[in-house]
Structures are given as structure tokens and as C-alpha cells.
Homo-oligomer: A and B are copies of this chain.
Amino acid sequence: MLEAIRSRRSVRRFTDQAVSRADVAAILEAGRWAPSGLNNQPWRFLVLRPGDGRAERLAGCTKYRHVVQRARALIVLLLEREAMYSEIKDRQAAGACMQNMLLAAHGLGLGGVWLGEIINQEFQALEALGLPAQRFELAAVLALGHPAAKGRSSRKRLSELVLEEF
């Protein structure tokens, strides 16, 4: 578990190989088991495949257009407004849900990247998806595929993150 958490990186380049329905289902299953405040489970999922006109329109809503276009599957992560009870906690829960899905993808040998910039264009993106903004908040988009390149990233040292020795 610790090794999987530590070795996961954002992957933005994918091969042409399709992502199987079984893999998508396993990733959604991981998202489904995330914790949420009062166990309200406000997350909703929309899966898009290449060739779906909505995926192409969604690509036009972010400066990471090429990542959306290259992805072999997209999971749009939404919050159902009626199920929400706290903006802060529901958004934290969305992050936990996304992290479960990223870890699941990594565990399956897939690559993925959490696209957050797209929510700056939330209403345009929801319109591209044909989803009503009164009903959904766009939390993020997960772009998935078989990795064509290794992701690279680093982190601050733990000593910079703890307020005091423990």
C-alpha cells in the first residue's frame, strides 16, 4: 500500500490501447468506497470514451485539451448538489474519491491524471456535457489510459510539512 502510494505519478501520455470496461468498473468501485462526511457519498460519475462528442467538447474547456483528447477513458467526477451538506467537506470527499481512483488505476497498471484546471470553466464544461449546473458541481476530471511515458514529480521533505518534531 505504502509503496503504491509513493510510486504513483500523474501520467499524461497514453498508448492507443483501450481501457477495458472491467478496469473502469474497478476504478469506479474504488471511488465508491471513499469516505465522506455523514457517509453522504455526494459523488457521481460520468464515463466518456474517445469518439463521444461530449469528450471532444470537454477538451475545448481546458488548456489541457491534448490530455483530454489523448485519454482512452475519462471519468467526470461530479458532486450532486442535493446530496451535499458542506461545501468544504464534500469537496474534501471529492478529493478522497479521486485519490482512490488514481490509486486503483495505478494498481491496475494504468496511468491517470487529475485534471483540476477544467473546473475554472465549470459552467462551460457542464454545458459541454449536457449536465445542469443546478444539479451538479463539477469536481474534477480523471483522464485515463495505458501509460506511454512515466510521470515525474517530487515532494517537499517531511520536515518541511510537520509543524514540530513528533
Please list the residues of chain A having a beta carbon within 8 angstroms of any beta carbon in chain B: 1-2, 4-6, 8, 10, 21, 24-26, 28-30, 32-35, 37, 39, 41, 43-47, 78, 86, 88-89, 91-100, 102-104, 106-108, 114, 116-117, 119, 131, 139-140, 153-156, 158, 161-164, 166
B41 touches A5 (CB 8 A): no
Give chain B residues whose Cβ lies under 8 Å from the Cβ of A166. 21, 24-25, 28, 47
Which of the listed residues A44, A78, A161 has the most CB atoms from chain B within 10 Å of its own CB? A161
A30 touches B44 (CB 8 A): no
- Report if A6-B35 is in contact (Cβ < 8 Å); known contacts: A45-B161, A166-B24: no
A39 CA to B108 CA, complexed, in Å: 24
Shortest beta-carbon distance from A159 to chain B in Å = 10
A10 CA to B6 CA, complexed, in Å: 23
A155 CA to B30 CA, complexed, in Å: 11
From B37, B41, B154, A161 is in contact (CB under 8 Å) with B41
From B1, B37, B44, B164, A103 is in contact (CB under 8 Å) with B1
Can you report 19 A-B residue pairs in the complex whose CB atoms are below 8 A from each other? A1-B103, A1-B104, A1-B106, A6-B29, A10-B35, A28-B166, A32-B158, A34-B99, A35-B99, A35-B102, A35-B114, A44-B161, A44-B162, A45-B163, A46-B162, A89-B119, A91-B92, A96-B96, A96-B102
